[in-house]
Amino acid sequence: MENILEVKDLHVSFHTYGGEVKAIRGINFEVKKGETVAIVGESGCGKSVTAQSIMQLIPSPPVDYKQGHIMFNGQDLLKKSEKEMEKIRGNDIGMIFQDPMTSLNPTMKVGQQIAESLIKHQGLSRAEAHERALQALKLVGIPQPDKRVNQYPHEFSGGMRQRAMIAVALACRPKLLIADEPTTALDVTIQAQILDLMKELQMQTGTSIILITHDLGVVAEMCDRVVVMYAGEIVETGTIDDIFYHPQHPYTKGLLNSVPRLDMNKNEPLKPIVGTPPDLIAPPVGCPFFARCEYAMEICRGHKPELEEVGRGQYSACWLNHPMAKMAKAK
């Protein structure tokens, strides 16, 4: 299957008074057409910065795209001007966030927001755009769409607002939808409805999805592949089965052990990963997980492990993959 997105050797930093925060440190991943890829990892590991870099949403400065390429449909988004990005955002790439109020315009009726995007990006007439906006609200399951189309975002409930944001994001049928914690703020029933809706819309439109979430249950249900990030790097990537049934990286194993799972004995205690991620102003030279890893060896301290294929299409960045690892001494 063809790739819609290829992130290549991406480095992103923030210049702050405290120094250069090296938020993304050389990540590589791709998203195929029609596929759903999860990005997981603890708070601060760089999930949102990755998403916002693809959309070029953070102004530069403070952000500095130091190195790399973000190839979307064969074109490098890092080489686009702000004007060119405006044409891509909301048209070719849609984005939904945890808080719909950050992307919905509070001063504009919901229907009008969808219509404006269709007029701007697809050159529809006002009447056509209004009709499509109505359809979009219907499609995302908003009751009484002909009334809702003329209401403002604050007149919608949380779940309905999230649906409206999805309607805005999908109105132009983007080739890629980036969803950053799209359901975290919603209660469980509505969360399930929104996720079902995203899946259904994906089946209808064939869009690719990048889903960022802390909820590994949602990942298992929604996604084809998983990218595991730690301290601005990708430490493991593979299919859902690879990651959930044959995790190779100690950090991935730690993540899985820190959340409840169906196949777990009720009396089995959850094991949070002890310690905190490294400082990104002065990240460690060796393996970023060294200080917290129960398998760490002497080599891990001063030498960074590269991502290596550990199974078909599964990659892990850990010295344990090395054939000589069994002979190494623990730290």
Ligand X SMILES: Nc1ncnc2c1ncn2[C@@H]1O[C@H](COP(=O)(O)OP(=O)(O)OP(=O)(O)O)[C@@H](O)[C@H]1O
Residue ranges that bind Mg ion, judged by CB under 5 A: 47-48
Q: Total number of residues binding ligand X (CB under 6 A)?
A: 14
Among ligand X, Mg ion, ligand SF4, none, what does residue 43 contact (CB within 5–8 Å per kind)?
ligand X
Cα–Cα distance for residue pair 46/41, rounded to 1 Å: 8
Residue 218 in contact with ligand X, rule: CB under 6 A: no
Q: Which residues contact 289 (CB under 8 A, 6 or more apart)?
A: 230, 231, 235, 249, 250, 251, 296
Instruction: Return the amino acid letter for 265.
Output: N
Question: For 159, phi and psi rounded to 5 degrees?
Answer: -65, -40
Of these, 4, 7, 37, 47, which contacts ligand X (CB under 6 A)? 47
Runs of H (alpha helix) within 56-125 = 82-88, 110-122
Residue 62 in contact with ligand X, rule: CB under 6 A: yes
Among ligand SF4, ligand X, Mg ion, none, what does residue 293 contact (CB within 5–8 Å per kind)?
ligand SF4
Cα–Cα distance for residue pair 289/125, rounded to 1 Å: 54
Taking CB under 6 A as the criterion, which residues in 272-331 touch ligand SF4?
287, 289-290, 293, 295-297, 300, 305, 318-320
Residue 137 in contact with ligand X, rule: CB under 6 A: no
Q: Within 13 Å, how many C-alpha atoms sit on residue 153's CB side?
A: 22
The structure tokens 């999908």 sit at: 170
Per-residue x/- track, 4-43, ligand X (CB under 6 A): ----------x-x----x-x-----------------x-x
Nearer to Mg ion, 166 or 179 (CB): 179
Nearer to ligand X, 26 or 145 (CB): 26
- Rounded to a whole number of angstroms, the minimum distance from the CB of residue 68 to ligand X is 16
- Rounded to a whole number of angstroms, the minimum distance from the CB of residue 189 to Mg ion is 24
In order of 87, 130, 216, 223, 292, the CA distances from 189 in angstroms are: 35, 30, 17, 19, 36
In order of 5, 25, 123, 139, the CA distances from 132 in angstroms are: 28, 42, 12, 10
Among ligand SF4, Mg ion, ligand X, none, what does residue 284 contact (CB within 5–8 Å per kind)?
none
Among Mg ion, ligand SF4, ligand X, none, what does residue 280 contact (CB within 5–8 Å per kind)?
ligand X
Nearest to 22 by CA among 65, 60, 82: 65
Nearer to ligand SF4, 177 or 320 (CB): 320
- Within 273-328, strands assigned E span 308-311, 314-316
242 in Cβ contact with 311 (< 8 Å): yes
26 in Cβ contact with 69 (< 8 Å): no
Residue 49 in contact with ligand X, rule: CB under 6 A: yes
- Rounded to a whole number of angstroms, the minimum distance from the CB of residue 251 to ligand SF4 is 6
Taking CB under 6 A as the criterion, which residues in 123-152 touch ligand SF4?
none
Taking CB under 6 A as the criterion, which residues in 267-296 touch ligand X?
280
H helix or E strand, kind and range, residue 165: helix 158-170
Question: For 117, phi and psi rounded to 5 degrees?
Answer: -65, -40
Residue 248 in contact with ligand X, rule: CB under 6 A: no
* Contacting residues toward ligand SF4, per CB under 6 A: 250, 287, 289-290, 293, 295-297, 300, 305, 318-320
* Contacting residues toward ligand X, per CB under 6 A: 14, 16, 21, 23, 41, 43-49, 62, 280
